[in-house]
Amino acid sequence: MSVSEMTDTEQAAFRRIAQGVGPIIAKLESPDRHALVAVIERTISERYLVLAVDANTEDARLLNDCAARELENAEALERLDSTCRDRQKKLLESHPVLCGLVGTSLADLSRAEQMKVLSEAELMGAELYQQVSLEESSAERRVELDACVAREKDISMTLASLAERNRH
């Protein structure tokens, strides 16, 4: 699946998220970028939990698993920098729009549409982690970041499958 395969409505939601987050991430130095990505991971995790509430048992299990993997990524970033939590608070104070960006961007979409958009967002996240890993000088930190890449890609595949299954 790719952005070009999305409906106009799905593409608009994806663009709102990317345009809301992208410019902010691009302006930040590495420690602040990690802190912001950790916040985004926690926000997306919460979204998966919301989607799981009314889902059938199997879909709910998969969505809860996606939520847990998002938290793993957030925690990995937070382990890489002991000041990450303090940075997160400051970033949210200076960019309050981030708090509701995902929810408001997806509000008018069906469950399947949300999962399709989030699947693409996970691929964007995997690319970001890959870029950060390539810039990292510590082999130990690269291993941690590469695990985040793998989780993002796994989540994307799970969501793409769920989106397709829920379209019918």
| Rounded average pLDDT over 20-24 | 85
CA–CA distances in Å: residue 26 to residues 97, 132, 146: 16, 12, 20
For residue 103, the model assigns a pLDDT of: 85
Judged against a pLDDT cut of 80, whether residue 65 lies above it is answered with: yes
Under the banding of pLDDT at 50, 70 and 90, the label for residue 47 is very high
For residue 9, the model assigns a pLDDT of: 86
Under the banding of pLDDT at 50, 70 and 90, the label for residue 168 is low
| Rounded average pLDDT over 91-102 | 85
The number of residues in the chain equals 168
Under 8 Å between Cβ of 40 and 70: no
CA–CA distances in Å: residue 46 to residues 60, 83, 102: 13, 23, 10
Judged against a pLDDT cut of 60, whether residue 1 lies above it is answered with: no
Judged against a pLDDT cut of 70, whether residue 148 lies above it is answered with: yes
Under 8 Å between Cβ of 92 and 99: yes
Tell me the percentage of the chain whose pLDDT exceeds 90.
61
Handedness of CA 85, 89, 95, 97 (dihedral sign): positive
Q: What is the mean pLDDT of the chain?
A: 91
Query: Which of 17-21, 70-74, 111-115, 117-121 is least confident?
Result: 17-21
Question: Residue 141 class from Cβ within 10 Å (0-12 exposed, 13-18 middle, 19+ buried)?
Answer: middle
Q: What share of the chain is helix, strand, coil (3-state, %, to 5)?
A: 85, 0, 15
**Which candidate, 53, 81, 84, 61, places its Cα nearest to that of 138?**
81
Written as six digits, the tokens of 44 are 């997306």
Question: Residue 66 class from Cβ within 10 Å (0-12 exposed, 13-18 middle, 19+ buried)?
Answer: buried
Judged against a pLDDT cut of 90, whether residue 29 lies above it is answered with: no
Under the banding of pLDDT at 50, 70 and 90, the label for residue 157 is very high
The pTM assigned to this predicted structure is: 0.90
Under 8 Å between Cβ of 121 and 33: no
